[in-house]
Structure 1
């Protein structure tokens, strides 16, 4: 029961649901790519990703300096739940916008994205409020 509650809580946030929705389409993404499309700070992204990894929704792997995240496909119940979620949200305007933004982001190397994020510091206040 606690595991089920952890899973549901971990995807019951708009930004975490946005991450799940794009990972259902783009099998694996680097943390810097996720940070870029969410438009939040790296610390905020890290917190969101950590919650989902701890709940078992996401798996991660490290490759050099980069950490890549993907949906945990080893749990049949989770796969069923996320299939239901995908059916409910795939036509939402937010998901369409995220997937479109991600197309552009995927053309930029993780190194360039990371440098760009370091140079810009944090996002503007209006952008942060919009995504909470």
Structure 2
């Protein structure tokens, strides 16, 4: 059975979004789980509005899903997105971001927003 091809426009949009270092790092951080905005702020040392803008672009494109818990929003990769195979391949080629999350945990800052 032939594998369904990804539409060129979808592939181009996904590659453009992942061409940004911050968005690529965000995707790497949620490759194996979920993160809250506050965690991205700590890891990336960027302002919350800046992180939220990057997440909005990823969400609007359908690459990430968000789940609200109380006042906090957690993000995961949308594995059902048509371009997920491309995302998966790219994330396998970049350095693992787990170390950044471990450092956050050791500093007592992991999931500080009370999931």
What TM-score bracket applies, with the shorter chain setting the length?
0.7 to 0.9
1:110 to 2:113 alignment:
yes
| TM-score, normalised via structure 1 length | 0.69
RMSD: 2.0
| CA distance in 2 between partners of 1:47 and 1:10 (Å) | 12
Q: Give 1:38's aligned residue.
A: 44
Is the Cα contact below 8 Å between 1:3 and 1:55 reproduced in 2?
no
Q: Give 1:116's aligned residue.
A: none
| CA distance in 1 between partners of 2:14 and 2:104 (Å) | 25
| CA distance in 2 between partners of 1:60 and 1:43 (Å) | 16
| TM-score, normalised via structure 2 length | 0.78
**Aligned with 2:16 (options 9, 16, 21):** 9
CA deviations over 1:63-86 (Å, ceiling 9, x no partner): 1100110000112x4331122112
Runs of 4+ in 1 over 2 A off after TM superposition: 1-6, 95-105
Q: Give 2:28's aligned residue.
A: 21
1 or 2, which has the higher helix percentage?
A: 1
| CA distance in 2 between partners of 1:66 and 1:96 (Å) | 21
Gaps of 5+ in 1: 112-132
Gaps of 5+ in 2: 1-7
